[in-house]
């Protein structure tokens, strides 16, 4: 059953009446452009056909009752009172979004009953958290008939994650969940928020392989990478690493390296990665899948060696996938790092070969069974 069917059915069972509406927000996979979003750079993700469904109905008071179906947990809070953090992390994504919507629209105090279900694997780098934030943002917008556009809902989701949950993420995940487009990869300029859609190449599938090593970005690694990037931006005297060209970086690289080795490595990754995203758009437009595969491989190596966010299981999955896919197409880690998934752009006639090579080798080598998903690029948040 799809999450939207589950949320509708469970809402009725749990609350004893039918939900009036259901919203669906997708997760996302990032094809290239990792850890560039909070450096005001470029990314190229797509929304995927896995996501979070929220079924809801208005109440005649200011209470929100939230039922998280997948984990059998509940939360309740009052929109007429200051919204405080919950001891449950999942509930803080909900509360945080409502809190920052109220910061913009203090009159928003509409109570509701909600039931939510997701089929995005948790802690896998596919933005289960953004799908939750955007579905809640859209729900609140509909409940209060608020004049919020999708970009504003995305930025509120990011603010909630940064300030209320405590993960210092960029804006890519939320923008993709809100603004994804069917059959398109979307290149996002994370400074101007401009979007350039590029069709998923014909004859190719998007395969996501979950290493089933879970990650948790609220722990220090993600935030420390961000600080190192900020140090490097300050060193170059710019607002963000987006503003440093590869040539400028080469010119002062030794100096930065002497001052702060880690900041040098992080900057090297971000500046080269921004360049790779722009090159990837050109490669896709020219249907040059060899070039795209090369860029994805370089991106992975850079995350492994300079940004230091891959793990042996992920590196091994990428190696296996690159062997299976060969030259036309590519594979790399996707998401924040330290576990999670790899993404592959694979010719349709090689999908089964890829699945087989991974199935025969990964568990034998690591003792962990992978999960294999074939995805399609889909639209962003919408009413079901």
pLDDT tens for 34-54 read 999 999 999 999 999 999 999
Per-residue pLDDT at 371 = 95
User: In the CATH hierarchy, which fold is given to the domain comprising 3-196?
Assistant: Ribosomal Protein S5; domain 2 (3.30.230)
pLDDT of 218 reads: 47
pLDDT-derived band at 125 (thresholds 50, 70, 90) equals confident
What are the tens digits of pLDDT across the range 154-195? Answer: 999 999 999 999 887 889 999 999 999 999 999 999 999 999
pLDDT tens per residue, range 321-370? 999 999 999 999 998 888 899 999 999 999 999 999 999 999 999 999 99
pLDDT, tens digit, 9 for 90 and up, residues 6-19? 999 999 999 999 99
What percent of the chain clears pLDDT 90, i.e. is strictly above it? Answer: 92
288: pLDDT strictly greater than 60: yes
Q: Which of 302, 328, 346 is nearest to 36 (CA)?
A: 302
Q: What percent of the chain stands above pLDDT 70?
A: 98
* Residues 234-259 pLDDT 10s: 999 999 999 999 999 999 999 999 99
pLDDT tens for each residue of 77-115: 999 999 999 999 999 999 999 999 999 999 999 999 999
Mean pLDDT confidence for 150-155? 98
pLDDT at residue 168 in the model: 78
**Which residue in the list 37, 119, 173, 306 is annotated as catalytic?**
173
Q: Using 50, 70 and 90 to split pLDDT, how confident is the model at 219?
A: low
Tell me if residue 216 is catalytic: no
Give pLDDT, residue 247. Answer: 97
Superfamily classification of domain 202-375: GHMP kinase, C-terminal domain (3.30.70.890)
- The residue ranges of every structural domain in the chain are 3-196, 202-375
């Amino acid at each position: 059953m799809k999450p939207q069917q589950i949320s509708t059915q469970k809402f009725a069972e749990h609350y004893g009446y039918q939900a009036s509406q259901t919203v669906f927000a997708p997760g996302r996979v990032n094809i290239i452009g990792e850890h560039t979003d909070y450096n005001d750079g470029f990314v190229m993700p797509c929304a995927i056909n896995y996501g979070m469904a929220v079924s809801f109905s208005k109440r005649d008071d200011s209470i929100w009752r939230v039922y998280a179906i997948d984990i059998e947990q509940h939360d309740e809070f009052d929109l007429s009172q200051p919204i405080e953090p919950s001891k449950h992390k999942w509930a803080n994504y909900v509360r945080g979004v409502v809190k920052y919507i109220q910061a913009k629209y203090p009159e928003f105090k509409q109570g509701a009953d909600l039931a939510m279900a997701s089929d995005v694997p948790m802690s896998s780098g596919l933005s289960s958290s953004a799908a939750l934030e955007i579905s809640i943002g859209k729900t609140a917008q509909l409940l209060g008939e608020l004049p919020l556009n999708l970009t504003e809902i995305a930025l509120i989701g990011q603010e909630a994650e940064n300030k209320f949950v405590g993960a210092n993420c960029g804006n890519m995940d939320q923008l993709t969940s809100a603004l994804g487009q069917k059959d398109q990869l979307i290149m996002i300029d994370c400074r101007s928020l401009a979007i350039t859609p590029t069709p998923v190449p014909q004859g190719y599938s998007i395969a996501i392989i979950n290493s089933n090593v879970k990650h948790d970005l609220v722990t220090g690694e993600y935030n420390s990478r961000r600080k190192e990037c900020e140090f490097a931006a300050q060193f170059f005297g710019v607002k963000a690493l987006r503003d440093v060209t590869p040539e400028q970086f080469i010119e002062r690289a030794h100096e930065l390296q002497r001052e702060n080795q880690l900041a040098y490595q992080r900057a090297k990754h971000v500046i080269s990665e921004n360049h790779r995203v722009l090159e990837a758009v050109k490669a896709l437009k020219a249907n040059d899948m060899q070039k795209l595969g090369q860029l994805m491989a370089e991106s992975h190596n850079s995350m492994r060696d300079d940004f230091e966010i891959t793990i042996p299981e992920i590196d091994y999955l990428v190696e296996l996938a690159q062997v299976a896919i060969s030259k036309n197409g590519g594979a790399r880690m996707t998401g924040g790092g330290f576990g999670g998934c790899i993404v592959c752009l694979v010719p349709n006639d090689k999908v089964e070969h890829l699945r087989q090579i991974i199935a025969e080798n990964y568990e034998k080598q690591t003792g962990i069974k992978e999960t294999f998903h074939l995805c399609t690029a889909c639209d962003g948040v919408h009413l079901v």
